[in-house]
Amino acid sequence: MVVACCERATRAGVRRGIPAAQARAAFPVGAVRLEEAAPRRDRAALDALAVWAHQFSPTVAPDPPDGLLLDVTGCERVFRGEDRLLGLVQERCRAKGLRARGAIAPSFGCAWAVARFGKEALTVVAEQEERHALKPLPVRALRVDDDAVEALAEVGITRIGELFDLPRAVLPSRFGADLLFRLDQALARAIETIEPVRPITPPSAERVFDGPTTNLEAVGWCVRMLLDELGAELLHRESGARRLDLTLGRSDMEPARLMVSMSRPNRDARHLWSLIEPRLARTHMGFGIDRVAIVASRLGRLEHTQATHLHERQGVSESEAARLGAELTDTMANRFGPIRVVQAMLVASHIPERAAAWRVVGSVARPSVARFSEPCGDSRLGEPYHQDSRLGEPCHPETNHPDRPPVLLDRPEPIDVIALTPDGPVAQARWRGEDHPVTACLGPERIAPEWWRDAQPTRDYFRIQTEGGQWLWLFRELETGRWFVQGGW
Amino acid sequence: MGYAGPNTTPRVELSRLRSAIEEVEHRSSQLFAPSPVAPTGWIGPDDALGGGLACGAVHEWFGLMGGGRRDSRVWLPPISVLSHLAARSLTASGVGGDGGLVLWIGRRCWPYPRSLRGRWGARLLARSIFVEAGDIDERVWAMDLALRCRAVAAVVGDGSGLNMSESRRLQLAAGAGGVLGLLARPVCELGEISAARTRWRVSPAPSPVPLPRWTVELLHSKGAQLAPEEARQWVVQRDDATGSLGLVPDALDRSLAPAGRPAVHEPGRPARTPTRRIA
């Protein structure tokens, strides 16, 4: 079922609620990109947008699934008029890639109705004008349920204006109490409550110097002091930083920004300093630094722990090991870049190079770096990690699958093969310039391409043993008949 | 009386010497104290090493040659053996909880994750962190850091191009952290000196059964007397179901391996194995 679609799809006749197959049929093959609806992610995005919208008003409430309610009473003065405020909201939304409709009205109900069902994308409804603005709108604009809309349609009422003509007393008894309440809300006669979100300010610490300094030691000392302050604040909040943003204000230059991220929440000033120090030493100071600010922009919960001295000799306790391990990976990720310190995960696929993927340590359990065959090397260091849903779904490691070689070449290498009969076992293989008589040949294991992805040849896999005892994993492309080595034992 | 005489001075020197000797002995006894070991799971090598590979030391594994060419660019590290040992070290390490981490440093020695099978493979995979470190400096830095970390059970590193001082640095780091260090090195570097506790050579062995086999040879073990060459070679075989390596008993090996080519499948006849279609 279609939950949402783009403008082009709407023009082609796709509507909300029609089956996905019908929407797919309206376009040529491959022109449609369908994605599964994720209501929880939509909700999270809406909440984030509500936090963002605090630039327009101090009271912002998300109105799921697709709206924001802003109490702008008094705010219009800051923006020099309600028209300008509304225009600004639309402009900033467009800058974020969002198409927005909006209305300012004396009541939330009225603004809700006009914004969604009004003629213009942006409307300002003046005081006492609600009745006039609501009149031509459909009954659905009153936020009543489908039953009430249907009941009204049965007696021929489709517009709100027609409701005004009915006696108030009959509305609750015939169409339910909700309708009258919603009507009163839209006319600002009944009370409406909203649930505004409150943005949480991340813990931060800042120092401004008397004058610019180029003394690295002074700056480093200041950063350490700020880290101590931040650590105390984080301890108070019972959380740890997942990401730190360090801003160094430079005189006569744009500020330098450093970002360090941790695989596990941490508030240990010593460890955080060890991550920042090498980065700080490489920062260009310009004509001097006059301001240092640190913001813990991503937080994670980190409970208080009791210091133990019992396990000192025998080994490392579990929580201690987790902390040490996280600090180790952070330090490495800080030097090599996060995408070069990875964990492996298995993906539900039979194609060998797709069956495993790498993900950044501490990230969610989805492939986030690359397919196995793609080197996560320097070329991509600058890029943010892409979360590509096309990489496939993670699967459980204990799933029963056939044995695979421990060495898988990044790219299958062509190999010359001699077989006594056209489809018979391999008798001799020539790889990397050397001839190998083959003493054993097992196979084939056929792996068909995944038809729902881009076309790939079907492969027949063989395990061969060369005379030296080395086992290799070969495959033959069924369509072309070419042979490749993909790995070995 | 300005002269103290020859009788008094040596006595002082002797007591000082004695304490110095005691100190050295104490240190060496610490150095060679029975440290925790990670059993290899193979009876022969475990006996030869006194229980298994010593934790807190570096062990070098000279690897397979890829395609048989004798230059260092195309060598294949003995990843099967290394992942077997890394999985074994998880149970031996003194880290609480799920056990320590296993760090794979250098892309060349990363195993294909699908080859880690069964329950121990899943456990190893969950505890593994892969570090892509490029040149030898980066690799040594990363291995040094990992070997000093007490949350780590084993470090498997690409040790190609390692010189003596770097190898000593890693050995000291492993001693400080009590971590098992496994270095994969190409066979062409067999002549290089190193500070590793043991050195091994792994070479593919022809197998009469359709399972890969390797000959594991103990080349050098610091501070231990080595048995004659024949007694230091063992044949191990990959277990298809679990992915771990088991020792092939001598008798079995001899009785099954014919002199010529051990034919699993006779070339010339069509393959018996039914084709399996997998989508």
**B202-231 CB burial, b ≥16 within 10 A, e <16:** bbbbbbbebbbbbbbbbebbeeeeeeeeee
Contacts of A325 in chain B (CB under 8 A): 100-101, 149, 151-152
**A260-276 CB burial, b ≥16 within 10 A, e <16:** bbbbbbbbbbebbeebb
Q: Judge if A259 and A360 occupy the same domain.
A: no
A56 band by pLDDT with thresholds 50, 70 and 90 = confident
- Hey, is the C-beta of B10 within 8 angstroms of any chain A C-beta? no
Nearest to A316 among B95, B214, B279 (CB): B95
- Hey, is the C-beta of B212 within 8 angstroms of any chain A C-beta? yes
Contacts of A398 in chain B (CB under 8 A): 118-119, 122
- Three state DSSP letters for chain B: CCCCCCCHHHHHHHHHHHHHHHHHHHHHHHHCCCCCEECCCCHHHHHHHCCCEECCEEEEEECEECCCCCCHHHEECCHHHHHHHHHHHHHHCCECCCCCEEEEECHHHCCCHHHCCHHHHHHHHHHEEEECCCCHHHHHHHHHHHHCCCCEEEEEEECCCCCHHHHHHHHHHHHHHCCEEEEEECHHHCCCCCCCCEEEEEEEECCCCCCCEEEEEEEEECCCCCCCHHHHEEEEEECCCCCCEEECCHHHHHHHCCCCCCCCCCCCCCCCCCCEEEC
Smallest Cα distance from A445 to chain B, Å: 5
For residue A312, is it within any domain? no
Taking residues A402-419, report their average pLDDT.
82
Which chain A residues in 352-391 lie under 8 Å from chain B, judged by CB atoms?
352, 355-356, 358, 361, 372, 375-378
**pLDDT at residue A393, as a whole number:** 57
Q: And the tokens for A445?
A: 């294991």
Smallest Cα distance from B225 to chain A, Å: 30
Interface test with A, best of B108, B131, B201 (most A CBs within 10 A): B131
pLDDT (tens digit per residue) in A216-264: 888 888 888 999 998 888 888 888 888 888 888 888 888 888 888 887 8
For residue A320, is it within any domain? no
- Among all residues of chain A, which has the CA nearest to that of B97? A318
Percentage of residues in chain A having pLDDT higher than 70: 88
pLDDT (tens digit per residue) in A254-292: 888 888 888 788 888 888 888 888 888 888 888 888 888
- Cβ-contact A178, A148 below 8 angstroms: yes
Mean pLDDT of successive 10-residue stretches along chain B, which has 279 residues: 51 78 67 68 82 86 62 70 86 66 87 80 85 87 89 88 89 87 86 87 84 86 77 83 78 44 42 42
Neighbours of B89 (CB within 10 A): 28
CB atoms A407 and B261 under 8 Å: no
pLDDT (tens digit per residue) in A365-392: 444 444 444 433 333 322 333 334 444 5
CB atoms B131 and A332 under 8 Å: yes
Q: Judge if A171 and A68 occupy the same domain.
A: yes
Q: Judge if A277 and A383 occupy the same domain.
A: no
Nearest to A325 among B101, B133, B210 (CB): B101
CB atoms B80 and A489 under 8 Å: yes
**pLDDT at residue B104, as a whole number:** 92
CB atoms A469 and B204 under 8 Å: yes
Taking residues A80-94, report their average pLDDT.
89
Smallest Cα distance from A239 to chain B, Å: 22
| Domain membership of residue A359 as a residue range | 339-391
- Among all residues of chain A, which has the CA nearest to that of B75? A407
Q: Judge if A352 and A472 occupy the same domain.
A: no
User: Is the pLDDT at A313 greater than 70, yes or no?
Assistant: no
CA atoms within 13 A on the CB side of B248: 26
User: Is the pLDDT at A426 greater than 50, yes or no?
Assistant: yes
CATH (residue range B35-252): 3.40.50.300
**pLDDT at residue A47, as a whole number:** 85
Nearest to A361 among B129, B152, B213 (CB): B129
pLDDT (tens digit per residue) in A119-146: 888 888 888 888 888 888 888 888 888 8
Taking residues A45-55, report their average pLDDT.
86
- Hey, is the C-beta of A264 within 8 angstroms of any chain B C-beta? no
> A211: domain CATH number?
3.30.1490.100
Q: Judge if A241 and A358 occupy the same domain.
A: no
Smallest Cα distance from A382 to chain B, Å: 16
Nearest to A444 among B125, B128, B271 (CB): B271
Q: Judge if A180 and A54 occupy the same domain.
A: yes
How many distinct structural domains can be found in chain A? 5
Which chain A residues in 396-415 lie under 8 Å from chain B, judged by CB atoms?
396-398, 401, 403-408
Smallest Cα distance from A117 to chain B, Å: 49
Q: Judge if A355 and A282 occupy the same domain.
A: no
Q: Which of A255, A287, A305 is the last residue of a domain?
A: A305
**pLDDT at residue B116, as a whole number:** 81
- Hey, is the C-beta of A487 within 8 angstroms of any chain B C-beta? yes
**pLDDT at residue B278, as a whole number:** 45
What radius of gyration, in Å, describes the C-alpha atoms of chain B? 23
**pLDDT at residue B140, as a whole number:** 92
Domain positions in chain B are 35-252
Smallest Cα distance from A487 to chain B, Å: 9
Q: Judge if A464 and A433 occupy the same domain.
A: yes
